[in-house]
Chain A
Amino acid sequence: MNLTGLALRNLRRRPIRTALSILGIALAVGGALALLALSRSIQDATRDGMDEMGDDLAVTQKEAPDIFAGFLPGDTEARVAKVAGVMRAAGEMFMFAPSEKNRQVLTVGWLETSFLWAKIPLREGRVPNAGERKVVVVGDATADALAKKIGDQIEIFGDAFTVVGISKYKAIINRGTVMMPLADLQELSYRPNQVSMVHVNVARDASTAEIARIRRDIEALGGVMVSTSSESLDNDRNFKILNAVSLGISIIALAMGVIYVLNSLVMATQERTREIGIVAAIGWSDTRIMTSIVIEGLVMCAIGCAFGVLLSFFAAFAFPLIPTIGDMISFQPSLRLMAATIGAAFLLCAIGALYPAWRAISMMPAEALRRA
């Protein structure tokens, strides 16, 4: 018999309360992990999508709070392309647009001369021909979800478009994207002669200093901000809000889980005042008594965390089924995220368990024995 064995035995004495406390921790850890994974997945999916497009730099409106809120003049692409060191540039407009079956699809518009058309990995069909309008290339995820094939009509913003191609991007966010001529999207969004951003490629062998110089030169054009895909996402207001909300809710969830454990331990120590008096009377030190109580809390926390991780996996794998955001989520378990969440849960549990432990030893053994 050791302190852990003793803690397990004490926990088994009140199985329902212990189970409820463990469930509380499991829900807290599971909820926290799932929420954090959700926000991280969306951000990662977006980053993967931008990386798959092969951008070295992205040019957006200066001071725009997020990538959807900024717009640039249509001639920005040409001005950027003239900057020394820029190999090619392509303007793009993007937005979420209502489509069929109440789905919001990420819709992008490119100039018919854009190199981005040539980079589309086509599963079937073709890209729009020069001057062709009201046609789209649909990501395979959207095509499958809406049961579209080549030649079918798809509704975007209430207008009918003909599906001429189906892409097979790897990034989940690109797999759901609908691509159409820029002019069509400008017309649909009442933003003629505007783009949301400009994709920039620089020479493959460009040094860091060279890239920094190119950034400066582009920014010198005025009114624009140049960033890598990671930087643009990190500075994005929407992602900041998403991350902050996820973190806040996760902390609240963890705190609630810890309160379950704290409540359970406070009740247990109150019920066992006499027993704490007994072990003190037979010579257990205050430290040992406190340790035994904290171990009880940590055992509950450990079991709760294990269940919580399982719960978070179930939740995270269920996220893609959510209609509005499912196409944007690609959940990948992160050991770092799990370690951080579980570490936080353990730390909070240990701190939480210290209070009942301190209460337990703050009483003289004789007083504890009298209170029985």
Chain B
Amino acid sequence: MIATLKRLFDRPMPSEDAAAALIALAGVSRNFDDGAIVALKAVDLAIDAGECVAILGPSGSGKSSIVNLLSGIDLPTCGRVLWNGRPVASRRAWARLRRNDIGIVFQEFHLLPTLTARENVEMALMGRGILAEERRERAEGALARVGLAHRIKHLPHALSGGERQRVAIARAIVNAPRLLLADEPTGNLDSANAEAVADLLFNLQRDTGMTVVLVTHDEHLAARCRRCVRIRDGEIADDRVPAAAALPPIAETEPAVTDAEAPVAAAIAAPSEPAPAIAEATAVIARTGYPIPEAAR
């Protein structure tokens, strides 16, 4: 009761950014063990539609707590989570969002061991009033999209780590979510599989334009995101385009560059370009609100 009242009175008003964002944390804190452990301290974070955001931080910094709160699989101790500017309060509302608009990929894959790859993907379609035949088709389509059309009848234990994670990605995208949350998606994979899974995620983001939030402690992976949020001790320590974004893009996985971003990309791709290009890029950054990358300064 006291905790509920505290939660009600502790709700801060959302900022304009939060109100306009696809999803936002407004003054969100998350404590465990009756406050003995503080995972997040009054975090404000707004994520716009179409963004690709990396949440970077060391173990125990609170980055996974952010994903949990952004997906509603955990609730904040105080503060609010906003979806399209509106607070999401109930478990039912969160379940609906996860069913329709939010896909989650976990480090441990979290596949159901008794179900085949296709059935695991189908699970995300159950309870949506979709006929069995259509569920099957859509699940197979999602698996084909992640390159597993030939593994649909395999149980998780018969798949490699990379394949399991791709099944998990297929499950997360089968509902065409607007927001894809990936919590250390490459954390349990060897470097080759990690690269392949990362490529897959970035390609999906590029092709569909869905919002992607990627939790990682891998600087290289974070560098491939447009925006990097650094978490330290439960607080946002930094929120900007990382310097590593200047790394040469991988040909296969290079995100589609919008007109507005083209000068930035050009500047990043050719840091030795003369000043006018940087100046133009800086102007675009100022217009779009993106933080200026170190490499472009």
Contacts and interface: CB of A to CB of B under 8 A. Distances in A.
B123 A286 contact: no
A286 B102 CA distance: 17
B92 A286 contact: yes
Interface in B79-112: 91-92, 95-100, 102, 104, 106, 108, 110-112
Contacts of A277: 73, 110
Contacts of B270: none
Nearest to A284: B127
Contact of A369 (B73, B91, B98, B102): B73
B74 interface: yes
B75 to A, nearest CB: 7
Contact of A282 (B68, B74, B115, B171): B171
Contacts of B123: 279, 282, 284
B268 interface: no
B3 to A, nearest CB: 14
A286 B99 CA distance: 12
Given A281-B71, A367-B74, A9 B95 contact: no
B95 A280 contact: yes
Contacts of B213: none
Given A1-B132, A286-B91, A286-B92, A366 B122 contact: no
A372 B108 CA distance: 10
A53 interface: no
B119 to A, nearest CB: 5
A288 interface: yes
Contact of A281 (B92, B98, B119, B132): B98
Interface in A265-291: 274-275, 277-286, 288
Interface string A183-226: 00000000000000000000000000000000000000000000
Interface residues of A, number: 25
A364 interface: yes
Contact of A288 (B75, B104, B110, B127): B127
B272 interface: no
Contacts of A366: 68, 73-74
B124 interface: yes
**Minimum-distance CB pairs A-B, first 5:** A283-B99, A366-B74, A365-B73, A283-B98, A366-B68
9 contacts: A3-B126, A13-B114, A281-B71, A281-B73, A282-B123, A282-B171, A364-B74, A369-B106, A369-B110
Given A281-B110, A282-B171, A288-B127, 20 more contacts: A1-B115, A1-B126, A1-B132, A10-B114, A277-B110, A280-B95, A282-B123, A282-B124, A283-B98, A283-B100, A283-B102, A283-B175, A285-B95, A285-B99, A288-B126, A364-B73, A364-B74, A365-B74, A366-B74, A369-B73
Interface of A: 1-3, 9-10, 13, 274-275, 277-286, 288, 364-367, 369, 372
